[in-house]
Amino acid sequence: MLAEAGGTFWLPPQSSSTARYVDAAFHLVLGISTFFFLLIVALMVVFVLRYRRRPGVGPAKSPSHSTALEITWSVIPLGLVVVIFSLGFYGYMEIRTAPRTAYEILVTAQKWKWTFRYPNGYEDPELHVPVDEPVRLVMQSQDVIHSLFIPAFRLKMDVVPGRYTTTWFRAIAPGEYDLTCTEYCGTGHSDMVTKVVVHAPGEFEPWLRKADEQAQSLAPVDAGRRLVTQRCASCHSVDGTQVPNGGPSFKGIFGQTHTFTKGPPQVVDENYLRESILDPSKRIREGYEDRMSTFRGQLTDKQITNIIEYIKSLK
């Protein structure tokens, strides 16, 4: 039941520059709500005790209408909600208005994983950012609506297929935070949990350079393994097991002969694997459904080759 260290009973620690606007509005509304709730319950309890039905005592005469009273309890709440609305709108504009100089990271959401692409082309399943620097996320979805939620940053924005949505934040404390999907997206919705890593001053750029160099220098099979883990593993296993509602396992498929719902059988070779990645709906393997969306434009030729090399290695 205990709250997270550094947070309040209700809210996680404030870890972005705009979190305080949300928390200020939250605590104002909490205060007003608690006051009115206690008032309502107190009046209710007092009336029930004081005016409970007793033998020989009827209801006392009292007016059944009072315009002054009615107007009072209409106008006071109206005034309060105007204040709440204004504070909420002010905070919302702060959350929605990105500074011009923000560092841009491209976000791709798909069933059921996140991919964060940095300006040098490096891709990572976790969101790494520098502390105290505004970061703008340009987000797109490959399939259905997802939503990016970072509770510690009080940040949420839907990721909608067919358009870009953007949001921004400035992390104020180095550390690791949860990042989740909050728009229901099917089987693996609750698997779309990853983390935000906020790097201390001066540590982000070295991290990015190193991660990118490592990714570049990997042998094709190792680079392919990395890509499959990031991009394919939510639907395709590599150990021969079947992912529920997913596609075939990659284990041992190279060189097998596959049959399809339409057309002649085909031996799994490099060209067939390439076609399955870029045009998955063209031939549907028997026993499976047309569920995969294309990776055209998302993977480079080099990456596709690496994936194929890795699949070949899965004997």
Partner 1 sequence: MSQTAAGALTPESADGSGPPADNYLTHAHGVRSWLFTLDHKRIAVMYLVGILGSFVLGGVFALLVRTELIRPGPTIMSKDMYNHMFTLHGAVMIFLFIIPGIPAVLGNFALPLLVGAKDVAFPRLNLASLWLWMIGAVFFVVTLHVGGLDTGWTFYTPYSTETPSAVIPAALGAFVLGFSSIFTGINFIATIHKLRAPGMTWFKMPLFCWALYATAIIQVLATPVLGITILLLAAERVLEVGIFNPKWGGDPVLFQHFFWFYSHPAVYIMILPGMGVISEVVAVFSRKHIFGYRFIAYSSVAIAVWGFLVWGHHMFTSGMTPLAAMIFSALTFSVSIPSAIKVFNWLATMYKGSISLATPMCYALAFLFLFGIGGLTGLFLGTLSTDVHLHDTYFVVAHFHYVMFGGAMIAFLAGLHYWWPKITGRRYAERWGQLGALLTFLGVNLTFFPQFILGSRGMPRRYYDYAGLLDRHPDFQQLHVLSSIGAYLTAVAITVVLGTLIHSVFRGRPAPANPWGGATLEWQCASPPPYDNFASTPTAGDPYAVDEFEYDPAIDGYVRRSAPNPPGPCPVPSHD
Residue whose CB is less far from partner 1, 102 or 144: 144
Q: Rank residues 161 and 220 by Cβ distance to partner 1 and give the closer one.
A: 161
User: Closest separation between CB of residue 128 and partner 1, Å?
Assistant: 17
Which CB, 44 or 219, lies closer to partner 1?
44
Indicate the residue among 25 and 268 with the shorter CB distance to partner 1.
25
Which one, 244 or 264, has the nearer CB to partner 1?
244
Q: How far is CA 276 from the centre of its chain?
A: 28
83 vs 267, beta carbon nearer partner 1: 83
Measured from the CB of residue 218, what is the shortest distance to partner 1 in angstroms? 27
Nearer Cβ to partner 1, position 89 or 256? 89
Residue 159: CB minimum distance to partner 1, A: 9
- Contact between 125 and 230 under an 8 Å Cβ cutoff? The reply is yes
Q: Structure tokens of 60?
A: 């006392």
Tell me the closest approach of the beta carbon of residue 123 to partner 1, in angstroms: 21
Smallest gap from residue 310 Cβ to partner 1 (A): 26
For residue 7, the minimal CB distance to partner 1 (Å) is: 7
Q: Closer to partner 1 at the Cβ: 2 or 315?
A: 2
CB atoms within 10 A of CB 199: 19
* Least Å from the CB of residue 164 to partner 1: 9
CA distances from 56 to 49, 52, 59, 61 (A): 16, 12, 10, 15
CA distance 108 to 38: 46
User: CA torsion, points 45, 50, 51, 57, in degrees to nearest 10?
Assistant: 160
* 177: number of Cβ within 10 Å: 19
| CB-based contact 197:128 (threshold 8 Å) | yes
Shortest distance in whole angstroms from residue 58 CB to partner 1: 5
Q: Are 29 and 91 in contact (CB under 8 A)?
A: no
* Cα–Cα–Cα angle for 139, 143, 147, rounded to 5 degrees: 45
Cβ at position 193, least distance to partner 1 in Å: 4
Q: How far is CA 314 from the centre of its chain?
A: 32
Nearest by Cα to 32 from 94, 90, 87, 92: 87
d(CA 4, CA 8): 8
74: phi > 0 → left, psi -120 to 50 → alpha, else beta; which?
alpha
Measured distance CA(148)–CA(123) in Å, rounded: 17
In the complex with partner 1, the residue whose CB is nearer, 24 or 218, is 24
What separation in angstroms does the CA of 255 have from each of 47, 251, 252? Answer: 82, 11, 8
